[in-house]
A and B are shown apart, each in its own frame.
Chain A
């Protein structure tokens, strides 16, 4: 075996700085006094201004926005896992029937429809139905996720041997019971993948909350950064404190679940 290459390691470490430097910059800028901002701004703050976070917390009403983001993301993830897997199961086990095969292609073809084409009608529709709020967003993530998730789940379910289900049926279990007791637990790896992808999408999304949400009290974290740009205009230290607080939850989750997140995303992409 060859030994690890120190030069290549150093080169890659240098490249990784392109990722780390903007994050470092966000942290130090969030902790500075406005007077310290002159120049390139890569030096450490003299006296960390923790009050910037308190200021950003108040200005953007952080607890409210974080709660909205969390509620929408958790709601979207849970509902997506429970419903999309169920639909995929029904389709995967009936692919030989023309109707279900048609349904499969119908759902998956939505992958090619770019959002702007339905954006304007969807805005009208959600406000008409009183769904221009957090609940409406959850519903939209669950429905729009169907296209890709069905593609993932069906591929996975096809690889699960039917013998397991048949054994349960012989014991008298109906289709629902078979799904919840036998299939759903077996879907765990795909559930992790779909869960992670839905989480990243719903948590970081900007366009859908921008066009769907009408009440200021329903705003999500990314949307709040957008809305407060004009107020932040010159107050960069508060703005960066606000950015950091908005980025932090996803970063922390990733820090603790790194391997799991990467392998989950990978399983979704390699399918």
Chain B
């Protein structure tokens, strides 16, 4: 029995030092006015009160949620459609599956830089040649459109992983079930709605929860594409915590922001799992 203790103690110690202690420290600092260095005073819940009156914070949350919800829906719709295609009788299935998974092995930051160039130079050139007015300038420089560029890159990268999960789900459905439905005269759409989708519901739940949780923490994409701009139009919560906390002398204030952010992410994840799992049951 003692051996088992020795197996977990070193890991537990390291986990305490590098994870639990920082969480507690973060909470402690959130109750002070520390700029991240030098002396500081204890200010109670003042930071939390200020957060709710700060337009910068509010805008960052609004942007982050708008981005995360749209990217989650788009990623899952696209991934499910492609997975359905890959699961059907097609040529070169393995090769195509291999291609669709590529974005998952690439660094988001670097992909972001490549797309940054595409949005800034190639897309406008194509749009001008084709006479599409709306896309003839760099969308990343437009405060109203920049977020769509970030969504595009996020979906491009995240769909890879979700496709593979949906494929795994689709492969759990036996051919007999679908053949029986075909014999009963159910068309493709009817089969999808009544049979396929309910059967892959757990996979849908996993993908929706993980996508939303990941997108709410969006950071790399934004650093590479807009760095939060134009102005502060695409400043996500993560980016604000990073830039304000490290470079803006708002260490304590942004730590308080991070605590709220943590509570929001947990609340959203739990809520989402409840709703989706209830739907799984009733389906």
Contact = CB atoms under 8 A, between A and B. Distances in A.
Interface of A: 2-6, 8-9, 11-13, 15-16, 18-20, 22-23, 25-26, 29, 37, 39-42, 83-84, 86-87, 89-91, 93-94, 100, 103, 107, 110, 112-125, 139-140, 142-144, 146, 174-176, 179, 200, 203-204, 206-207, 211, 221-222, 225-226, 229, 236, 239-240, 243, 246-247, 250-251, 253-254, 258-259, 261-262, 265-266, 269-270
Interface string B92-111: 10101111111111111111
Given A83-B11, A119-B241, A262-B98, A254 B105 contact: yes
12 contacts: A5-B89, A8-B90, A16-B99, A37-B121, A90-B4, A110-B15, A116-B258, A120-B241, A120-B255, A204-B107, A246-B107, A270-B168
A23 B101 CA distance: 13
Contacts of B259: 117
A203 B164 CA distance: 21
A152 to B, nearest CB: 14
A175 B4 contact: yes
B63 interface: no
B15 A107 contact: yes
Interface residues of B, number: 84
A42 B117 CA distance: 12
Interface string B112-124: 0111011001100
Nearest to A232: B113
Contacts of A11: 85
B193 interface: no
A42 B12 contact: no
Contacts of B115: 22
A9 B4 contact: no
A9 B90 contact: yes
Given A90-B4, A112-B265, A121-B29, A261 B105 contact: yes
